[in-house]
Chain A
Amino acid sequence: MPAQTDFLRPLPYFSALSDADMQRVERVALERSFERGEILFLEGEPCAGLYALKSGLVRVFKSSPEGREQVLLVARPGDTFNDIPVFDGGPNPASAAALELSTVVIIPRDAILSLVDACPPAAAIVRLFAARLRRMTTLISDLSFRSVLSRLAKVLLEAAAADGGTPAQRLTQEEMAAMVGTVRDVIGRALRLLEREGAIKMQRQKIVVVNAKKLRDMV
């Protein structure tokens, strides 16, 4: 569809493509419109492809189990989004909803991947970047939605779980604070609280998870 050529070609994703590759992308691209408030896709669902906003306004956001939202991006015409699952193969890391009547062009995942297939090292790097970006996205929702105690519980569970076969993780309280996004004093108090709750036991140079379920319930 010529309208798509005009729209897609100048976008950063496609500006360097050969005409043949561009045509290949255009052949499989789908155009869809969404009413204000309509959901384009949901977090956790399989990825339909890369979204390019042609007109309108779209909110990309993470939701907490309690229904709170953290907006990651307000996409404007010309913006692309949902790149992470396209490249790392995982589910959608966030949801998207139209803030007003919006039209998007969806380019299926396979079509995007085929553009980097010819260069395996580049494909590997992009996949790595996507995985890192997914972790950052998770971190944003952790920082937005979870309390310090909940974030510390998550850090302890992950560190203890990494224990099988590999050397146990060693973390100072300062390092735990940096991972949780707080200061050392708060970690000291949180660890004492977790110990009083019977979730962990502080030993000399060791934090032993004695009740994993209690920690999981806090996450």
Chain B
Amino acid sequence: MAGFLQQVVQGLGAGAIYASLALALVLIYQFTGIVNFAQGELAMFSTYVAWQCMAAGLPFWVALPLTLVVSFAGGMLIERVIIRPVEGAPELTIVIVTVGLFIFVNAAAGWIWTFLIKDFPNPFPGGALELGGVSLSFSTLGVLGVVALVMGLLYLLFQHTKIGLGMRAVAANPASARLVGIRVGWTLALGWGLAATVGAVSGVLVAPLLFLEPNMMAGVLIYAFAAATLGGFDSPLGAVVGGLVVGVAETLAGAYVGFIGSDLKVGVPLVIILGVLLLRPQGLFGRAAVERA
């Protein structure tokens, strides 16, 4: 039993990371209907910014806020400069643009920082909390705590501020949002900025567990897609729940299903994506596209 719980805890830790990147994906999808394939690469780039700050001698807790600000501004800039011109273009066009952004950001990171792996410090202390035979590492607890915090802050922003109300209005009905005086263009840019910031958090959480290198988010992105699909692409809560479920499912499948093991683990998110699309395309928390006229 303790062994099983240990696997679940480990899965939750991994799942929280998928959840954070899924959250970033969902933020952009909600506002613009765009699936941003470059989300993971933007997170990776942000992580390099944090690394660069620390390489310049700044302590982690100074480098982090600085990185978040840079990421926010970068996200807004990308929306204004790269996404804006293709706004309203067919979906395929936008998908290609975000795939192009993926390749560009990946190559830029390699060009600036090389493809050699770098160590990234773990902001959380080592060691673990023993609880009934299950060991909860501070690192896992920290990741779960940070994702809960991000989720809580986003909830406050969306449900209890005027900016959040405006953002929900734009997501629900952009034309009508314009008619009540909301600056829709800036709101979309704000959405991209927020997503980039959440993604930066995700990258900084991933980097200490893997190593920092330009391709580090590629795998995480697949899991994040599975999480967002499972939770529902238009539901931030769904993204988090989906992330945790995917993390646990993947860990348990790897540990207990003989033929999967650690080699086939990566197939789990793909099976989840396929299953959800077949059985419940809107995801667990997503809204199906039916409404009273």
Are A and B associated in one complex? no
